[in-house]
């Protein structure tokens, strides 16, 4: 009995400690809510190249457009960027030299669509949206996804650019399968943060990665999109978190939306984006929710987590945003009437 009382007290104390950030922020949110303050529209996205994506999303949002259209338009920007080697066209290939894309999209009604291991189509996000809108399914993979895309008017292209092919051939010399930390952040050059520089180019030429974007529109509706070529030089057939609803992206129009970047295997293990949204439902602020999801990853295996990067990014129904990551180096871009596409460094666990 004594033990049980002790346990209950300890559990209550640790629950209070865990949610302290959330509660503090909850008070701030309550104060804002009493003043009727909601920041909308607003769009946030991962990494510095999220700024260009945010601009495209803003073109939709500022006219009163739907968050779903905004996030699709936004992430199509890095998908088409030949200098971005981890999203869409010119993405780094897998270890067999094949560029395979993962993407998903989710709207305010809980509709969602996804493609994994899609080849030969730049705008994987638009194929994911077509899966959502034109099929009774959520997810199509590989050849099936390609056949569906071609049948729906998408053009077959070669996504492997000479630069990405050169990087792959360089990688083949050693064939070391190592996640490259902060490959996404253009200020983290390979000399500073990695031991492998496949293109032997300055960091800002090749250091870009997955884009996750979540937005709240003028009508107060949320949507999100996530698209990537996945981990560079991955095993053929490997799928990360980015196309998995609940892992790489989750939207609940009552609560908020979250997305992730980094080593997808870690995100899948904790069903990260769903976890972040559920924590916000319990009253955590976006940042506190992202921090708790990162902490779960650390709890699973601290030694492994020390060598990896994962970042979560979230917004809630009030248009508040926050992020948290394992290591220094993750940043995100915010665009609203209050914040003019500012880049914010994610707080980090280690
Ligand atoms: C993946 N999460 O395929 C993606 C990669 C990524 O920043 O986001 N890198 O695991």
Report the residue among 84, 182, 263, 312 best suited for mutation to probe ligand 1: largest number of ligand atoms under 8 A from its CB: 263
pLDDT tens per residue, range 201-244? 433 333 347 899 999 999 999 999 999 999 888 899 999 999 99
Q: Are strands 331-336 and 42-46 parallel, antiparallel or unpaired?
A: antiparallel
CA–CA separation, 159 vs 16, rounded Å?
A: 50
What positions carry a catalytic annotation?
Answer: 210
Closest approach atom of ligand 1 to CA 184: 7
Q: Is the CB of 50 under 6 A from ligand 1?
A: no
Alpha carbon distance, N-terminus to C-terminus of the chain = 39
Rounded to whole angstroms, the Cα distance separating 174 from 171 reads 6
Q: Is 29 in the pocket of ligand 1 (CB under 6 A)?
A: no
Backbone angles phi, psi at 323, to 5 degrees: -150, 165
305, with CB counted inside 10 A (0-12, 13-18, 19+), is buried
Distance CA 189, CA 205 (A): 9
CB distance 240 to ligand 1 below 6 Å? yes
pLDDT band of residue 10 (cuts 50, 70, 90) is: very low
pLDDT tens-digit profile of 170-184?
Answer: 888 888 766 555 555
pLDDT at 306 over 50: yes
Binding site membership of 228 for ligand 1 (Cβ less than 6 Å) = yes
Q: pLDDT per residue over 15-65, tens digit each?
A: 444 444 444 444 444 555 556 699 999 999 999 999 999 999 999 999 999
Q: How far is CA 82 from CA 36, 85, 247, in A?
A: 43, 7, 27
Distance in Å, CA 262 to ligand 1 centroid = 4
> Which residue among 114, 207, 208, 230 is best mutated to probe the pocket of ligand 1, counting the most ligand atoms within 8 A of its Cβ?
230
Closest atom of ligand 1 to CA, residue 209: 7
Structure confidence at residue 12 as a pLDDT band (50, 70, 90): very low
**Would the CB of 264 count as within 6 Å of ligand 1?**
yes
Ligand 1 atom nearest to CA at 102 = 3
Q: Is the pLDDT of residue 326 over 90?
A: yes
**Which pLDDT value is given to residue 232?**
87
Residues 19/282, Cβ–Cβ less than 8 Å: yes
**CA–centroid distance, residue 51 to ligand 1 (Å):** 18
Q: Measured in angstroms, how far is the CA atom of residue 26 from the centroid of ligand 1? A: 30
Q: Which residue has the tokens 């560029």?
A: 99
Mutate which of 228, 293, 313 for ligand 1 pocket (most atoms within 8 A of beta carbon): 228
pLDDT of residue 318: 98
Q: Give the whole-angstrom CA distance, residue 309 versus residue 306.
A: 8
241 is in an annotated binding site: yes
pTM: 0.84
Q: How confident is the model at residue 4 (pLDDT cuts 50, 70, 90)?
A: very low
Residue pair 247/277 in contact (Cβ under 8 Å)? The answer is no
Q: Distance between CA 323 and CA 316 in Å, rounded?
A: 12
Q: What is the pLDDT of residues 138-174, one digit of tens each?
A: 999 999 999 999 999 999 999 998 888 988 898 888 8
pLDDT at 21: 42
Q: Whose CA is nearest to atom 7 of ligand 1?
A: 262
C-alpha 210 – ligand 1 centre gap (Å) = 6
Query: Cβ(209) to ligand 1 under 6 A?
Result: yes
Q: Is the CB of 184 under 6 A from ligand 1?
A: yes
56 Cβ contact list (under 8 Å, min separation 6) = 73, 74, 76, 77
| Domains located in the chain, CATH noted | 40-348 (3.60.20.30)
């Amino acid at each position: 009995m004594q033990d049980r009382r002790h346990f209950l007290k300890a559990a209550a104390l640790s629950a209070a400690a865990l949610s302290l950030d959330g509660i503090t922020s909850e008070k701030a949110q309550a104060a804002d809510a009493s003043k009727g303050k909601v920041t909308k529209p607003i769009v946030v996205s991962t990494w510095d190249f999220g700024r260009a994506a945010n601009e495209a999303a803003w073109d939709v949002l500022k006219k009163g457009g739907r968050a779903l259209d905004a996030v699709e338009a936004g992430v199509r920007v890095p998908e088409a960027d030949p200098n971005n080697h981890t999203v869409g066209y010119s993405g780094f290939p897998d270890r067999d030299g094949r560029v395979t894309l993962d993407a998903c999209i989710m709207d305010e009604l809980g509709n969602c669509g996804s493609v994994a291991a899609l080849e030969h189509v730049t705008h994987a996000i638009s194929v994911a949206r077509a899966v959502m809108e034109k099929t009774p399914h959520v997810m199509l993979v590989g050849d099936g996804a390609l056949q569906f895309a071609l049948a729906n008017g998408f053009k077959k292209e070669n996504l492997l650019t000479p630069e990405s092919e050169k990087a792959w051939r360089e990688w083949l010399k050693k064939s070391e399968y190592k996640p490259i930390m902060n490959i996404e952040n253009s200020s983290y050059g390979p000399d500073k943060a990695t031991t492998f520089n496949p293109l032997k180019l300055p960091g800002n030429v090749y250091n870009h990665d997955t884009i996750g974007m979540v937005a709240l529109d003028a009508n107060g509706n949320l949507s999100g999109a996530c698209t990537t070529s996945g981990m560079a030089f991955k095993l053929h057939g490997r799928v990360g978190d980015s196309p998995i609803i609940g892992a790489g992206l989750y939207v609940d129009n009552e609560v908020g939306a979250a997305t992730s970047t980094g080593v997808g295997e870690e995100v899948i293990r904790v069903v990260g984006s769903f976890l972040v949204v559920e924590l916000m439902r319990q009253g955590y602020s976006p940042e506190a929710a992202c921090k708790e999801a990162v902490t779960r990853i650390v709890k699973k295996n601290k030694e492994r987590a020390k060598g990896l990067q994962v970042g979560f990014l979230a917004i809630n129904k009030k248009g508040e945003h926050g992020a948290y990551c394992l290591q220094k180096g993750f940043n995100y871009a915010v665009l609203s009437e209050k914040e003019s596409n500012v880049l914010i460094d994610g707080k980090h666990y280690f």
